Structure 1
Amino acid sequence: MAKLLVRELLRRCSSTLSDTKPQFGRHSEIDMVLAARNGVRALCKYMPHVCARTDAVKLDPGTQQRIDLVPAARVKPGDGSDARDMWCVQLLDIPRNRGSDGVAVGRAITLVDRQRLDTFEPDWHASTGPAVLHYAYNPQQPRYAYVYPGVMGDVWVDMTWAVLPPTIVAGGEPGAEIYKWDGGNDADVGLDELYSDELWNYIVAYRLLSDKGQASLARAMVHAQAFTGAINTTMEQLTGQNPNLKTLPFAPEVPGGAS
């Protein structure tokens, strides 16, 4: 993944907003970072693949697994980064077991229809075993997944999921900014550079909408339409369905539906 640095993204946005002499003169770094945070959340909400990753996760006892927030103690990041609390947007797959330590490679896990399992094995929630054979997931109930047999002891699996990147650290007060374009801060946004255009459009639209005047509003609409258009087109190509996102989502909740 090509890193997208926060300062490089904000430099591009500041330039578009004619706010570079000095940078953050009209749109403070704090406000720009807030817009960037919301943009990242919006992308992860409407295009979960942009924040997809695979990590080893220790399962809870039993069949029901809460996955909206998984604490750092139960995660071994697949990219080698430090363990952190994982906020899941959407479960994508549980491909295999990872033993009792999160390291060993175990048998494959297959997706099943929970209603079929209910029909043919009504007592399956009472079962336990040392490894997972199947899992069930309903995206309309994204906080939970189910595994069969129920977990007994320490059971780790590989989990492929869309997870919110670490929150971008807040910007500095005027005169003490930390993301100036000519500074040395190398913090990254947490998404691939491939999505820099979408974030640029989001941040610029977000900030222009805070300005007064018809000219700013007209410019904001251009960038907002570019952002929503990219979301709709990309998801239609990937899934065959257009989320029909029409307006710029402000501080979107995760997970949820398009507005």
Structure 2
Amino acid sequence: MSVTVQSVLDRVQITLQDTTGVRWPAASELILWVNDAQREIALFKPDASATNETITLVDGTKQTIPSTGNRLLSVVRNMSDTALNNGVGKRSIRIVEREVLDAQTPDWHDPTVSGDAAHGSTVKHFVYDEADPRNFYVYPGVSGSTHIEIVYSANPATVTDSDDLAVPDIFANAVYNYVLYNCYMKDAEYTGNNQRAGNHYQLFMASVTGKSQLDQITNPNANASTNAANVAVA
């Protein structure tokens, strides 16, 4: 069962001993901080808002993720040109360094290039620059209708008190602590509130960054090199 926004607001108001929302109104303040929390989580932990989607590429090499996205996370594979949401998977797509392509085929962006870099309907590789997180380049470039499956970090949907959280349930405590951080910062001039705010922000960051560390430990890709070697031997 998904965690509701209202359940988080209830916990916050109980902690604040303000269940009627007199000092910290739920509709005009708390809900805004819930949405701020979700965006902060997506910023610090992009895969918290990971979205898997089949997109249609534009002609050429430069591509952009959907307008709702913050950054590209991965490019998976080519997809069939029918039933975009349930298309048939085709050739996998691997990341490559731009310097390699630039050195081997300097004209790979040119739509008139020939040979292996000739623009067509199947993507073999993609290039990604973290300094430009919403854009990526495909090799070879495409001409005509080409569809690929990507994973990107989306902007969390703006929620109201009647919605579920737009981030995974596991981040409910992080949202709770971020809202309390803002509540106490509002009254930071009162004794102890500045410290309380700092404590809740630390708990928020611990939830988000701790999840990142756990993901690294339990990441199935950790043994990818060993498994690849075993597959090659087999």
Question: Given the two structures, how large is their TM-score scaled by the length of structure 1?
Answer: 0.74
Q: Deviations over 1:216-237 (max 9, x none)?
A: 2221111011112333433345
Residue type at the aligned position of 1:125 = H
Quote the residue 2:114 is aligned against.
none
Q: Distance in 2 between matches of 1:94 and 1:226?
A: 33
Segments of 5+ residues of structure 2 without an aligned counterpart are 111-117, 218-234
Secondary structure of the residue aligned to 2:24 is coil
Q: Which moved more, 1:188-197 or 1:223-232?
A: 223-232
SS in 1 for 2:3: strand
Question: What is the CA–CA distance in structure 1 between the aligned matches of 2:133 and 2:107, rounded to whole Å?
Answer: 23
Q: Where do 1:46-195 residues align within 5 Å?
A: 46-67=44-65, 70=66, 86-101=67-82, 102=84, 103-126=87-110, 127-169=118-160, 179=161, 185=162, 187-195=163-171
Counterparts of 2:80 and 2:109 in 1: how far apart (Å)?
21
> Matched residues in 2 for 1:9 and 1:238: separation?
24
Aligned to 1:33: 31
The Cα offsets for residues 67-119 of structure 1, whole Å up to 9 and x where unpaired, read as: 2xx2xxxxxxxxxxxxxxx4222211111111223223221111111110111
Report the Cα offset of residue 197 of structure 1.
0.9
1:210-225 equivalences in 2 (<5 Å): 210-211=186-187, 212-225=189-202
Aligned residue in 1 for 2:228: none
Looking at structure 2, the residues matched to 97 and 214 of structure 1 have their Cα atoms a distance apart, in angstroms, of 59
Greater share of helix residues, 1 or 2?
A: 2
Structure 1 residues 236, 194: CA separation in 2 closer, same or farther (over 3 Å shift)? Answer: closer
Normalised TM-score (structure 2)? 0.81
What do you get for the CA RMSD once the two structures are aligned?
1.8
CA contact (8 A) 1:3 1:190 kept: no
Distance in 2 separating the partners of 1:122 and 1:193: 47
Contact kept, 8 Å, 1:51 with 1:163, in 2: the verdict is yes
Aligned position for 2:6: 7
Residue number in structure 2 paired with 1:227: 204
2:181 paired residue number: 205
Q: CA deviation at 1:238?
A: 4.4
Which secondary structure state, in structure 1, belongs to the residue aligned with residue 51 of structure 2? Answer: strand
